[in-house]
Amino acid sequence: MQIDILLDVKTTLGEGPVWDVEQQRLYFIDSMDGRVFRCAADGTDLRAWDVPGKIGSMALRKNGEGAILSLDKGFWLLDFKSGHCELLHDPESNLVDTRINDGKCDRMGRFFAGSMDMMEEGPKGALYRVDPDMTVTKLEDGIICSNGPCFSPDDKTFYFTDTWTGEVWAYDYDITTGEISNRRTFAKVDTLNGGAADGATVDSEGYYWMALVYDGRICRFAPDGTLDREIKMPVKKVTSVQFGGPDLDVLYVTSMAKPPLPRFPSDGVQRGSLFAITGLGVTGIPEPRFGG
């Protein structure tokens, strides 16, 4: 196994890596600076788009060259050619201290993303589903900080976490309707060193990979919720993970250069880098596109 810095971009809050199988490009975001980045597998051919607000996540679209975004004020569509962003819907227009955070698509093209309390203290957030017809449905509420949504390879399980609960949850998932049910604790998160559950992905074997932010670890959980493997990273503030590369065997890891709140720890000179981990002997699954 080898950990390399792919790009030393110093993202204030790097997040949401997405590998595009069709174009062989990696997308990732800077949440606080409101920017979407794209590069080749080796970090070359870098370009960026500014978006009108803090961004929590993105998913590429099936229809047209663009993406669906979760911004601090609602769901938006970004056109890569023009750079134009169009508001779809703001489900929390009545709230001033929340923003929509982490999100992923299911294999039917639905986008799931949850919101968070920007002070990361109160249960003001919710989990939403955006269908390909642009309908927005609230699925859960009472969440402090939404993170880690993703799906098992057989489409029967949805994973999700409220970062500060110290747990990763699993739900029964109905791929036909997009409904979730039967929430239970999938895994306990080691928070003894101040770490918390952040962005996640599922590999081709059905194992759940999670960034343990503020503790500098990547954790791999087996389908039964047991801890299978840990990787110690060179920075504490790792934020999200995604498999990519031509063979889907590179684990891309985002990180943050500056913590969002003063109570969180600082980091060394590699903070804010985009990392690439090779030699894991594991492959990922192509990331689905938004159907709208």
Transcribe 10-46 into DSSP letters. Answer: --TTEEEEEEETTTTEEEEEETTTTEEEEEETTS-S-
Q: Nearest Cα to 53, choosing from 71, 65, 36?
A: 71
Checking 255-259 for CB contacts under 8 A at 24+ apart, the result is 255/11, 255/14, 256/11, 256/12, 256/13, 256/14, 256/213, 257/10, 257/11, 257/12, 257/13, 257/14, 258/12, 258/13, 258/32, 259/214
| Phi, psi angle pair for 163, to nearest 5° | -40, -45
Considering the candidates 198, 203, 215, 249, report the single residue annotated as catalytic: 198
Give the whole-angstrom CA distance, residue 152 versus residue 55.
25
Dihedral angle, C-alpha 247, 5, 288, 168, nearest 10 ° = 110
Residue count of the chain, please give it.
Answer: 292
Structure letter (DSSP) for residue 145: B
172 noted as active-site residue: no
Q: Is 192 left (phi over 0), alpha (psi -120 to 50) or beta?
A: alpha
Q: What are the CA-CA distances from residue 133 to residues 11, 19, 59, 67 (Å)?
A: 33, 24, 15, 15
Active-site residue set = 198
